[in-house]
Chain A
Amino acid sequence: DTGVSQDPRHKITKRGQNVTFRCDPISEHNRLYWYRQTLGQGPEFLTYFQNEAQLEKSRLLSDRFSAERPKGSFSTLEIQRTEQGDSAMYLCASSLDTLGVGYTFGSGTRLTVV
């Protein structure tokens, strides 16, 4: 297992288009998180899965955003009708619900909306 994988690494899209990102967590990790990071800021929490259940969504996640984790394995984050303000780095992380196990982040997907 090589860690958390995210695809694509970069995405440029026109305003109004839909985009979908994929995250493959570390195989034995049951927790999966999505974060968003804009330039010069720390990552902000978007949503969280425990296995296949989406347990929490941030107010940052408008109704244009949807995330899924079918079968508790990989996850997808879809943004509909993209806006320029959606331009950011989208980071995925996974962890275990075990004391002492921290987060492992992927390399992120950089979205640019033009």
Chain B
Amino acid sequence: KQEVTQIPAALSVPEGENLVLNCSFTDSAIYNLQWFRQDPGKGLTSLLLIQSSQREQTSGRLNASLDKSSGRSTLYIAASQPGDSATYLCAGALTNFGNEKLTFGTGTRLTIIP
């Protein structure tokens, strides 16, 4: 059974700093890993998707990496802004007869201090 862990549960950083969010998973046979953002009381917004054959993906100020051998993924946010404050969730998918259901971590609640 795939287990996904995100540490720390909460993080506060001053505006403008670069930061890294961590995600670890137990099953290295991961098919893909996706990072999401969730604002309070809202649904999930997809940020980045990394296939198992890839090592990283970039979108604007965001960069996500995937290391299957160590069971780790990181989300790097450059030049943080107050609007980045949200909960960030990572989720891994295993192939299962074509059903790529996601297993989520519990998230990191990020607060950017103006």
Contact = CB atoms under 8 A, between A and B. Distances in A.
Interface of A: 6, 31, 33, 35, 40-45, 48, 50, 55-56, 91, 93, 95, 97, 99-100, 102-108, 110
B104 A102 contact: no
Contact of A103 (B41, B51, B102, B105): B102
A95 B99 CA distance: 11
B44 A43 contact: yes
A105 B44 contact: yes
A99 B91 CA distance: 16
A105 B106 CA distance: 17
Interface of chain A: mostly helix, strand, loop or mixed? strand
Interface in B2-58: 4, 32, 34, 36, 41-46, 49, 51
A43 B99 CA distance: 17
A105 B46 CA distance: 8
A55 B99 CA distance: 8
B51 A48 contact: no
Size class of the B contact interface (CB-based, 8 Å): 20 to 34
B106 A103 contact: no
A14 B91 CA distance: 33
B98 A33 contact: no
Contacts of A105: 36, 43-46
Contacts of A103: 34, 44, 46, 91, 102
- Chain B CB within 10 Å, residue with most, of A33, A42, A93: A42
Given A31-B100, A42-B4, A103-B34, 7 more contacts: A43-B102, A91-B43, A100-B49, A102-B34, A105-B45, A107-B43, A110-B41
A102 B59 CA distance: 15
3 tightest A-B CB contacts, nearest first? A42-B104, A102-B49, A107-B43
Contacts of B43: 6, 91, 105-108
14 contacts: A33-B102, A40-B106, A42-B4, A43-B89, A43-B91, A93-B44, A100-B51, A104-B46, A105-B36, A105-B44, A106-B43, A107-B42, A107-B43, A108-B43
